[in-house]
């Protein structure tokens, strides 16, 4: 008698296979959805991500080629080949981005960076470019870097105008170190302390220390003349002049003493045109139309 085989086992096997396929599709869909959601959170477009991955791949290849060529003892050849590969891949300077400039002429920075235009990224002379930027009067510091694939980034730290140097033919802005920045009009120089005299700009840091010893007088001082490369004459808003003695400590002591006397006797704004403190402890007071009078160390009143 013939036997008939039942197909139940085959049906169960097919059902299991179908279930596994369905689970796989669901898992794939879920994974794809999570990946797409994660990618949507990144601040990059698909094209930008493609360029980033390409930069990483090519950059790694370039680094490997450089390493192998260096081990082989042919660094010059390696540099040439790496530069060629980088240029063909689009890794060359096509854009210059400048930040940090507020007062200086930004075109001076672009002019300095022009020598790097269209250079392959491995050949960009960052150190040389930074050195040339530091030669510009307004540039206190400069940070130069490359941003793959085609941007040269320059961040400038500007010097701050601190005073005005009076020269025979013009006024020049200077910073706290006495570095000359650029010519300035008399109108735009009105709010700055004016310094004058041969070598006065080199004495600006010392002048700041001197004025800091009597801060109450700072708002009254509008000009300082460096006399004979040895001492200062200070001019107040009233046009009155204070002649200080030579020497850092001597000048500081005299200025503090004058500040104290001014607080007691209102010297600034009075009839005295010049206060001469070059021969301490005495102060010689010059009043227009009158002979010099002496204010002794006792701190007496003015004439």
pLDDT in tens, 247-275: 999 999 999 999 999 999 999 999 999 99
State which fold the 163-295 domain adopts: Rossmann fold (3.40.50)
pLDDT at 128: 86
Q: Which CATH number fits domain 93-158: 3.40.50.720, 3.40.190.10, 3.40.720.10, 3.10.20.310?
A: 3.10.20.310
pLDDT at 90: 47
pLDDT at 4: 45
pLDDT at 289: 76
**What confidence tier does 298 reach under pLDDT thresholds 50, 70, 90?**
very low
In sequence order, the β-bridge partners of residue 286 are: 274
Classified as helix, coil or strand, 194 is: strand
Domain 93-158 shares a fold with domain 163-295: no
- Beta strand 193-196 with 163-166: parallel, antiparallel or unpaired? parallel
Which residues, at least 6 apart from 164, have a Cβ–Cβ distance to it below 8 Å?
171, 172, 173, 174, 184, 189, 192, 193, 194, 195
Is 41 exposed, middle or buried, given 0-12, 13-18 or 19+ CB atoms closer than 10 A? exposed
Which residues, at least 6 apart from 199, have a Cβ–Cβ distance to it below 8 Å?
226, 229
- pTM of this structure: 0.67
Which residues, at least 6 apart from 264, have a Cβ–Cβ distance to it below 8 Å?
299
Tens of pLDDT, residues 227-253: 999 999 999 999 999 999 999 999 999
How is the chain split into domains, by residue range?
Answer: 93-158, 163-295
Tens of pLDDT, residues 104-135: 999 999 888 876 665 665 566 788 889 999 99
Q: Are 154 and 98 in contact (CB under 8 A)?
A: yes
Q: Are 302 and 270 in contact (CB under 8 A)?
A: yes
**What confidence tier does 35 reach under pLDDT thresholds 50, 70, 90?**
very low
Quote the tokens at residue 223.
């000009």
- List, as own/partner pairs, every contact residues 107-114 make where C-beta atoms lie below 8 angstroms and the sequence separation is at least 24, other chains included: 108/136, 109/133, 109/136, 109/154, 109/156, 112/136, 113/152, 113/154
Span of 30-34, 46-50, 230-234, 259-263 with lowest mean pLDDT: 30-34
Average pLDDT for residues 88-106, to the nearest whole number? 78
pLDDT at 303: 38
Neighbours of 141 (CB within 10 A): 13
């Amino acid at each position: 008698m013939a036997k008939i085989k039942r197909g139940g086992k085959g049906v169960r096997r097919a059902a299991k296979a179908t279930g596994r396929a369905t689970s796989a599709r669901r898992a794939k869909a879920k994974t794809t959805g999570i990946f797409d959601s994660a990618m949507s959170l990144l601040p990059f477009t698909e094209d930008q991500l493609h360029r980033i991955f390409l930069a990483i791949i090519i950059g790694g290849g370039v680094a490997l080629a450089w390493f192998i060529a260096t081990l082989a003892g042919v660094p010059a050849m390696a540099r040439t080949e790496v530069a060629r590969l980088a240029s063909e891949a689009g890794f060359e300077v096509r854009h210059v981005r400048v930040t940090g400039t507020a007062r200086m002429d930004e075109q001076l920075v672009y002019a300095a960076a022009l020598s790097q235009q269209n250079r392959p990224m491995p050949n960009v002379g960052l150190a040389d470019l930074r050195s040339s930027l530091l030669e510009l009067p307004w540039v206190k510091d400069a940070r130069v870097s490359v941003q793959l694939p085609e941007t040269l980034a320059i961040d400038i730290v500007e010097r701050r105008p601190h005073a005005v140097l009076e020269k025979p033919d013009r006024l020049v802005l200077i910073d706290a170190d006495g570095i000359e920045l650029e010519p300035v009009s008399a109108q735009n120089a009105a709010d700055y302390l004016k310094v004058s005299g041969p070598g006065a700009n080199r004495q600006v840091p010392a002048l700041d220390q001197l004025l800091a010893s009597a801060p109450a007088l700072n708002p009254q001082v509008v000009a300082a003349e460096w006399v004979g490369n040895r001492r200062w004459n200070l001019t107040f808003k009233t046009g009155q002049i204070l002649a200080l003695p030579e020497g850092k400590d001597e000048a500081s002591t005299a200025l503090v003493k004058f500040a104290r006397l001014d607080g007691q006797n209102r010297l600034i704004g009075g009839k005295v045109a010049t206060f001469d403190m070059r021969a301490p402890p005495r102060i010689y007071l010059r009043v227009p139309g009158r002979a010099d009078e002496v204010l002794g160390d006792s701190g007496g009143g003015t004439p």
